[in-house]
Amino acid sequence: MTADAMLAGLPFGATTRNPFNYSKVEQIGRDNTTAWLTQTEITNQLNLFGDTSQSTYLASLELAVRQAIEDFLGLSIFPVSYRVWYGIESLAASPLSLDLPEVSQNANSALAGVTITSLKYWTDAFPAVSVTVDSSQYYYDVSGNKLIVLSLPTSVNSTMTAPIVLDYATVANPLAAYPVIKQAGLLLLTHLYNNRSNTTDKRLHDIPFGVAALLRPYKPLVM
């Protein structure tokens, strides 16, 4: 039987080219205030011992550095919240297995790396109504970075592109405390502090053992 003869694209997965079964993901919440690198670490790195005249600027720079490190590694130094949408092709199996686009790990191996906020679906009523799924009907599978859902009603909207909506947050990743990760943050902060704008000066080159070299071993591989 050919792949295009299979309902919902089974057994080859979703109807899109996304190797996971979510249709869309958005970041809906992020810590924009808490410092990761301390003021002492920063001033020591920049040789600004006892100089507090630039504290406000350095604090804003530190936040930018922390978020750049998080984005580069896909790592939550502090919790980050996401909203994910799934299409009806995700309903082809029972129980349902919903892939999560961003995950984390916990310093306590017995605890999950994500916190599920809510799972909702839009009904086939007109207009559609959003219904919250009781938390007893699902659990997070840490071994596969998936949300396992016992089942969803047949009243899930079949005309909407992505009627299933999951809100969750990644927890703070223990890797954030690794000295090599923090040193990469300090190195990036030094670069941004000393270079206040883009430059086309060809004499400037990447530091051979720079930020990317320090962080690359911790960046997840996409197979």
pLDDT of residue 1: 40
Question: Is the pLDDT confidence value at 217 over 90?
Answer: no
- Of 216 and 122, which is predicted with more confidence? 122
Under the banding of pLDDT at 50, 70 and 90, the label for residue 204 is low
- Of 215 and 46, which is predicted with more confidence? 46
Mean pLDDT of all residues in 183-209 = 74
pLDDT of residue 202: 58
Paired tokens of 211 = 């930020």
Letter string b/e over residues 113-145, b meaning 16 or more CB atoms within 10 A of that residue's CB: bbebeebebbbbeeeeeeeebeeeebebebeeb
End-to-end, the C-alpha distance of the chain in Å comes to: 28
pLDDT of residue 212: 79
- Distance, in Å, from the CA atom of 5 to the CA atom of 154, rounded to the nearest integer, reads 23
Question: Is the pLDDT confidence value at 8 over 70?
Answer: no
CB 210 within 8 A of CB 187: yes
pLDDT of residue 144: 86
Distance (Å) of CA 59 to CA 37, 55, 187, 188, 208: 9, 6, 15, 14, 27
Question: Is the pLDDT confidence value at 23 over 70?
Answer: yes
pLDDT of residue 222: 54
Sequence ranges of the domains in the chain = 10-29+78-173, 35-76+178-197+205-218
pLDDT of residue 3: 44
- Of 1 and 63, which is predicted with more confidence? 63
pLDDT of residue 31: 93
pLDDT tens per residue across span 134-169: 999 999 998 888 999 998 998 999 999 999 999 999
Question: Is the pLDDT confidence value at 129 over 70?
Answer: yes
pLDDT tens per residue across span 70-109: 988 888 999 999 999 999 887 877 899 999 998 888 888 7
pLDDT of residue 215: 81
Based on the number of CB atoms within 10 Å of its own CB, is 193 exposed (0-12), middle (13-18) or buried (19 or more)? middle
pLDDT tens per residue across span 188-200: 999 889 877 655 5
